[in-house]
C-alpha cells in the first residue's frame, strides 16, 4: 500500500512545483495591474485638485460683445492692454500649477510603487494624460462660460468674461513632461541608493 501512495504524492508534488512559477507570474501581473490602476487614480485626483487651484488663482479678463464676437476693448472701443494680457494668463497659470504637481506625483508614485518599473512608466504616462484632460475640462467648467458663444446672442456692449482655457496641447505637454521628470528623478535616486548599498567586491 505505501508503494502505491508514494507515486501519487510525487505526482501531486511535482504538479505543484511545476505550477508554482505560473501562479507566481499571475500574482505578479495582478499586483502590477493594481499598481498601474492606483497610479492612474492618484494622477486623476491630482488633476482634479490642480483644476480647482487653477480656477482659484486665475482672474478672468473683461470684454464686450460686438457684432456677435467677444472683443477685449473698453467702453470707448479701445483695446484694453491689461485685459488682453490677461487672456494669456490662463495658459501660464496652468503651467505654473500643473508642472510642479506632475513632478511631485510622478516622483511619489515611482518611489512608493517601485516593484514594476516598466508598468510604472506606462501608468505614469497614462495617468498624466488623464490628469491633463481632467484639469482642462474641470477648470473650464469652473470658470465663466465661453464668451464667444454668449456674444452671438448678446447685445453689443454687453460685458462678458473670458473663459478659463488653454490651447489643447498645453495641458498634455505640461503634465506628461512634469510626470516624466519626477519619474526620472525617482529612478536615478533609487539607482544611486542601490549602488551605495551594494557590497564591495572583495577581489577589488
Model confidence at 201: pLDDT above 60: no
- Kindly give the interhelix angle for 169-197 and 117-142, rounded to the nearest 10 degrees: 150
Query: Where in the sequence is the domain holding 93, given as residue range(s)?
Result: 38-191
Reported as a pLDDT band with limits 50, 70 and 90, residue 191 is: low
Task: Tell me the pLDDT tens digit for each residue of 82-94.
Answer: 777 777 899 999 9
User: pTM of this prediction?
Assistant: 0.77
A 10 A CB-CB count for 93 gives: 20
Is 180 part of any domain?
yes
pLDDT in tens, 31-77: 778 888 999 999 999 999 999 999 999 999 888 888 888 888 766 66
Q: What is the mean pLDDT of the chain?
A: 81
Count how many domains the chain has.
1
Contact 79, 153 (CB under 8 A): no
Instruction: Judge whether 168 lies within some domain.
Output: yes
Q: How far apart are CA 113 and CA 116, in angstroms?
A: 8
Amino acid at each position: 500500500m505505501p508503494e502505491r501512495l508514494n507515486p501519487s504524492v510525487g505526482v501531486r508534488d511535482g504538479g505543484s512545483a511545476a505550477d508554482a512559477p505560473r501562479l507566481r507570474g499571475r500574482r505578479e501581473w495582478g499586483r502590477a495591474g493594481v499598481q498601474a490602476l492606483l497610479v492612474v487614480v492618484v494622477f486623476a485626483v491630482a488633476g482634479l485638485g490642480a483644476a480647482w487651484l487653477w480656477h482659484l488663482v486665475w482672474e478672468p479678463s473683461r470684454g464686450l460683445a460686438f457684432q456677435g464676437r467677444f472683443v477685449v476693448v473698453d467702453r470707448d472701443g479701445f483695446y484694453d492692454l491689461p485685459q488682453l494680457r490677461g487672456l494669456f494668463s490662463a495658459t501660464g497659470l496652468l503651467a505654473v500649477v500643473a508642472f510642479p504637481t506632475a513632478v511631485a506625483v510622478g516622483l511619489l508614485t515611482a518611489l512608493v510603487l517601485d516593484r514594476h518599473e516598466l508598468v510604472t512608466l506606462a501608468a505614469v504616462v497614462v495617468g498624466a494624460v488623464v490628469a491633463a484632460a481632467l484639469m482642462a475640462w474641470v477648470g473650464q467648467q469652473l470658470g465663466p462660460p465661453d464668451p464667444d458663444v454668449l456674444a452671438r446672442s448678446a447685445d453689443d456692449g454687453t460685458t462678458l468674461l473670458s473663459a478659463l482655457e488653454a490651447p489643447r496641447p498645453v495641458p498634455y505637454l505640461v503634465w506628461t513632461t512634469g510626470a516624466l521628470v519626477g519619474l526620472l528623478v525617482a529612478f536615478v535616486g533609487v539607482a544611486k541608493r542601490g549602488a551605495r548599498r551594494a557590497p564591495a567586491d572583495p577581489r577589488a
